[in-house]
Structure 1
């Protein structure tokens, strides 16, 4: 059960309500939005950032979802794994292939770029201060510097979402099938 009661539409500010509606266009994150609405600037800025990043379409969707599922599995965040695994399957990975993450060795559905993304997501999540230069420069075979910056930010942001969701025990939306981390 969620540790803080979700706000109803009537209980949230006009700004928070507008941001909740905008976030709904981004994805099915209503339970998250109803808790973030306690702090309207958080909801507003996260919504704006996510929608702007999606609109610029800088990163391949598959790379982004591989990173987010990897981070969420490493952090055991069922909320995020349940939200991003279906998006990863749309991007071409089977549910069984997604379940194998972050294990990339002998993964029949991952190419070298996919494996580099998963390894990078794991490194940023588990040892960001102890990474080697080669882990970043190795991504340049597939990504520009701008894409690497965004990928790194999205990995770190996903980790923050994982902690926020788990600390407050945000419930998976009822129209989503739960996927265990």
Structure 2
């Protein structure tokens, strides 16, 4: 049960309702948005940032979803794993392949770039202050510096989402198939 009851449309500010609608077009995050609406700047800014990042298409979708599922599995966030695992299927990874993450050794569905993304997501999540320069440099074979900055931000942001969702026990929306972390 969600620790903070989701707001109804009538209980939201006009700005929060607009952001809620925009986030609804982004993905099935109704429960998250209705709790975040208690603090409209959070909902407004997160919605704006996510929609802008998606529109600019700077980062390949597969890399993004590999990172999101990896971080969410490491943090055991069922909400985020459930929302992002199906997007990995769209990006070409089977549900069985997604279930193996973050294990990349001998993973038959991951190429060298995919493995570098998963390893990087794990490093940022578990030991960001102790990473080696080579871990960032390794990504340059596939990504620009701008893409690495976005990837790093999205990994860190996913960790924040994981903590927010778990601390407040945000419920998975009924239209989303639950996937255990």
TM (norm. structure 2) is 1.00
CA distance in structure 2 between the aligned counterparts of 1:138 and 1:23, rounded to whole angstroms? 34
Whether 1:153 aligns to 2:153 is yes
Distance 2:176 2:150 in 1: 27
Tell me the CA shift for residue 76 of structure 1. Answer: 0.1
Residue 106 of structure 1: SS of its match in structure 2? coil
- 1:126-145 mapped onto 2 (5 Å cutoff): 126-145=126-145
Alpha-carbon separation, structure 2, partners of 1:18 and 1:144: 34
**Distance in 2 of aligned mates of 1:70 and 1:123:** 11
Structure 1 runs of 4+ aligned residues shifted over 2 Å read none
Residue 86 (structure 1) aligns with: 86
Q: Secondary structure at the match of 1:88?
A: helix
Partner of residue 114, structure 2:
114
In structure 2, the partner of 1:69 is 69
How big is each residue's C-alpha offset from its partner over 1:21-77, in whole Å with a ceiling of 9 and x where there is no partner? 000011000000000000000000000000000000000000000000000000000
Q: For residue 174 of structure 1, give the secondary structure of its aligned residue in structure 2.
A: coil
1:97 aligns with 2:97: yes
- Offset of residue 96 of structure 1: 0.2
After superposition, give the CA deviation of every residue in 1:80-102 in whole Å (9 maximum; x if it has no partner).
00000000110000000000000
C-alpha distance in structure 2 between counterparts of 1:168 and 1:88, whole Å: 26
The alignment partner of 1:146 has SS state of: helix
Measured in 2, the distance between the counterparts of 1:176 and 1:19 equals 21
Tell me which residue corresponds to 1:21: 21
CA RMSD of aligned residues (A): 0.3
Quote how far apart the aligned CAs of 1:4 are. Answer: 0.5
Distance 1:53 1:136 in 2: 21
Q: How many residues align?
A: 181
Spell out, residue by residue over 1:104-150, the C-alpha distance to the aligned partner (whole angstroms, 9 max, x if none).
00000000000000000000000000000000000000000000000
Query: Quick one: distance in 1 between partners of 2:141 and 2:42?
Result: 35
